[in-house]
Chain A
Amino acid sequence: MAKTNKKAEEQPVQPVQPVRKTGLFEYAPAPESPAAAGDIATSYGHFIGGEFVDSSGSEALKTVNPATEQVLAEFAQGTEQDVDRAVAAARKAFTDWSALPGSERAKYLFRIARIMQERSRELAVLESIDNGKPIRESRDFDVPTAISYFFYYAGWADKLDYAGYGANPRPLGVAGQVIPWNFPLMMLAWKIAPALATGNTVVLKPAETTPLTALRFAEICRQAGLPKGVVNIVTGDGRTGAALTAHPDVNKVAFTGSTPVGRSIAKQIAGTRKKLSLELGGKAANIVFDDAPIDQAVEGIVNGIFFNQGHVCCAGSRLLVQESIQDELLDALKRRMGTLRLGDPLDKNTDIGAINSAAQLARITELTAIGEAEGAERWAPECELPGAGYWFRPTLFTGVSQAHRIARDEVFGPVLSVLTFRTPTEAVEKANNTPFGLSAGVWTEKGSRILWMANQLKAGVVWANTFNKFDPTSPFGGYKESGYGREGGRHGLEAYLDV
């Protein structure tokens, strides 16, 4: 090598970590217009038999904008009579709907998908207002993904003979579907699209903090001319959900949500002829080996846990990093977390929006306090939190062990626990050492190791050198306490067919 000058010899060998200074190029506010969400009524009833109807009861719930705590609308707390009426409407519609040729059912699904595309901006803004998620995500992820499931299952409707379940597979009947608040419209699509494609009719209960896009979807069903009663939406809290899953004339129960509720549903319908699919909690390990593509791994870790404020059942909430690169990776991760933009969900440059509800914020706060009390080291980037609304800084815990509660309980928030491992076997042991088994991530440039890990990991989805990627052609679902049954892909048809 060429001469080394004096300056070179005096260079410190210790790495110099530059602090990323910002301030020159501040992004001006770029807010999406709340008016694009369309008209939000002051109060909503249910959608039953193709009509918006009042509840038989008088109890009303409120849905708030979690970024401002302002009430967006009142909606009905569905009663047992409401559920009964909705199931009856679905039962009535089932005869004709299931008798339609698949190609005719497909037309309706394609039509719904196209209307959703035309109204995508409206749906995205409404979703962000009701849920608190950044418009960047609702616009670029939630709504397009929801639409893609309708397009995908529309394509299956007239090809069910070739789905691998024999000739002319039969639908189950009325599907009772209960969905969570983290991806309201997308979860609706995951449930309704395969159910309708296979000839079932549905009664769907959206979550009590995020009913608005489901009610807007009801309008879309009317716009598409969907026969009355094929899709029914009944709003309310867990009591309404329990009434729906317990209803004797429901043939199929599909639930996405927490493991305790999933367990109670499984008990409730045990011994009946109802078919059940459950997509429950998770505590996914995101495993980074020392030969990983570091910059992309950091992106994947961030996307894995901070996407949608961590309100993701398959979130990569446990980072398992090989000890030899721990410091390097954590430095890079902290630097990257420092660039996350938290704030107004409707600002197009926001990366982290609002926590969905006060109750969820309280749970995250409680679990992180326990993490600190148990001795894990807490770190979060400096960032200002808005005054009103529910907010939580993207947070990192280091020095976490398998025995800590933050490594075991599902936080369902922007909180990452960092653990280390020394060998691939240890990584697998730790990754699988959880009652859950929904997803996992593996980061390595070594292809053979990816395949070996995928075989060892007890998780329904294993992402390699990526995380939180969804596609309608790919089945999704869990092992162990993360549930059973699969949604998406050809496999997703099975949950709605009498096979």
Chain B
Amino acid sequence: MSTVAANAPGAAGGGLQDVAASEASLRRFLHGLPGVDAVGLEARAASLGTRSIKTTAKAYAIDLAISMIDLTTLEGADTVGKVRALCTKARNPDPSDPSAPRVAAICVYPDMVATAKAALEGTAIQVASVATAFPAGRAALPVKLADVADAVAAGADEIDMVIDRGAFLSGRYLSVFEEITAVKEACRRPDGTYAHLKVIFETGELQTYDNVRRASWLAMLAGADFIKTSTGKVAVNATPPVTLLMLEAVRDFKAQTGIQIGVKPAGGIKTTKDAMKYLVMVNETLGDDWLSPEWFRFGASSLLNDLLMQRQKLTTGRYSGPDYVTVD
């Protein structure tokens, strides 16, 4: 996987170079984006949710979904032992079936990065770390940057940052923009490569779809490699309409700049059926280019076991149960 900064800050061409030249120009640009009709967006997401994914298509989608998971533990109670156990599960999700694919990444707090990195040595599984005073992001910029630098120094391949929702909601877009570019710089390693930057919007706090579209463009312009819905720590996390809207944003951004950005819905995606709906949205909005762990991820924990149970059902023809998959 590429650790080079694919979306360098300000790299966006397509006439977008000067968008963030000032607070006024950035606001003008973001508020000039087409509006989102909430009823229509939700209807489209619901309609894609009725696709019927069977047999070979289901087998493909289950394996793809497993390979796209950022297997996550973000608890105050996390210990070295817990993180190691999760890493073992990431390497070998289904002990009864070695053909089950590995997950894309392990997602932990910065202080667990070194543990995860060591436990995953020799695999292609990435270590993602949340940072920037996750989940609220309520800390001074130098503290956030130190948080990021610490995770990167410990070996994090990917950084999941949160935006300053307070600044965004009060209309200080340039402040959010500059914070993202600063974090991007903090993702730089001594050898000049970058940790992959995922930017979390906490869409449950941004509330409106118009805000989600603006936040998406703002983050992409500022150098995000991935845009991510949620922390998983608030009442409303990833939803199909919000994710569909972000898929449309990365589609439009690529059409305008040629730069491809990834999308990660996180929080609340618990069942195979849910995961199928998201993959259908990716397939019908973006197509093959995004159908890989490089460009689409699920931030999830319990989802993996449901996928594994459905996978066992497809291969054996029998439903298993929660005792036939491992708790961690």
Residues of A within 8 A of B (CB): 1-5, 7-13, 15-18, 20-30, 136, 140, 291-297, 299-300, 339, 348-349, 445, 465-466
B13 within 8 A of A: yes
Q: Are B13 and A27 in contact (CB under 8 A)?
A: no
How many whole Å from B22's CB to the nearest CB in chain A?
9
10 further A-B pairs in the complex, CB-CB below 8 A; given A24-B291, A292-B35, A348-B52: A1-B17, A1-B18, A2-B9, A5-B8, A13-B13, A25-B279, A27-B53, A296-B40, A300-B40, A348-B51
Residues of B within 8 A of A (CB): 8-15, 17-21, 34-37, 39-41, 43-44, 50-58, 60-61, 64, 181, 248, 251, 254-258, 279, 283-284, 286-289, 291
> What would 8 A/B residue contacts be, using CB atoms closer than 8 Å?
A2-B10, A4-B17, A5-B8, A11-B13, A16-B254, A24-B283, A26-B57, A296-B36
Bound together, the chains give a CA A1 to CA B180 distance in angstroms of 12
Bound together, the chains give a CA A7 to CA B8 distance in angstroms of 9
Bound together, the chains give a CA A27 to CA B56 distance in angstroms of 8
Residue of A nearest to B34 (CB): A294
Q: Are A20 and B37 in contact (CB under 8 A)?
A: no
How many whole Å from B192's CB to the nearest CB in chain A?
13
Bound together, the chains give a CA A30 to CA B55 distance in angstroms of 9
Bound together, the chains give a CA A16 to CA B56 distance in angstroms of 34
Q: Are A13 and B41 in contact (CB under 8 A)?
A: no
How many whole Å from B232's CB to the nearest CB in chain A?
26
Q: Are B288 and A21 in contact (CB under 8 A)?
A: yes
A11, A28, A295, A466: the one contacting B56 at CB < 8 Å is A28
Q: Are B14 and A11 in contact (CB under 8 A)?
A: yes
Residue of B nearest to A27 (CB): B57
Known A-B contacts A16-B255, A25-B64, A300-B40; A5 and B53 likewise in contact (beta carbons under 8 Å): no
Known A-B contacts A1-B20, A5-B8; A30 and B54 likewise in contact (beta carbons under 8 Å): yes
Bound together, the chains give a CA A413 to CA B118 distance in angstroms of 62
B36, B61, B181, B257: the one contacting A25 at CB < 8 Å is B61
Bound together, the chains give a CA A228 to CA B252 distance in angstroms of 61
Residue of B nearest to A445 (CB): B35
Q: Are A466 and B40 in contact (CB under 8 A)?
A: yes
Q: Are A20 and B13 in contact (CB under 8 A)?
A: no
Bound together, the chains give a CA A17 to CA B256 distance in angstroms of 8
Bound together, the chains give a CA A296 to CA B213 distance in angstroms of 13
Chain A residue contacts of B8, Cβ below 8 A:
5, 7-8
Q: Are B288 and A5 in contact (CB under 8 A)?
A: no
Q: Are B40 and A25 in contact (CB under 8 A)?
A: no
Bound together, the chains give a CA A2 to CA B17 distance in angstroms of 10
Chain A residue contacts of B255, Cβ below 8 A:
15-18
Known A-B contacts A21-B288, A25-B61; A295 and B36 likewise in contact (beta carbons under 8 Å): yes
Residue of A nearest to B59 (CB): A28
Residue of A nearest to B283 (CB): A25
How many whole Å from A362's CB to the nearest CB in chain B?
31
Q: Are B43 and A299 in contact (CB under 8 A)?
A: yes
Most buried by A among B14, B34, B279, B288: B34
Bound together, the chains give a CA A28 to CA B289 distance in angstroms of 20
B12, B20, B283: the one contacting A8 at CB < 8 Å is B12
Q: Are B50 and A140 in contact (CB under 8 A)?
A: yes
Chain A residue contacts of B258, Cβ below 8 A:
11-12, 16
How many whole Å from B187's CB to the nearest CB in chain A?
14
Chain B residue contacts of A293, Cβ below 8 A:
34-37, 40
B55, B181, B283: the one contacting A28 at CB < 8 Å is B55
Chain A residue contacts of B286, Cβ below 8 A:
20
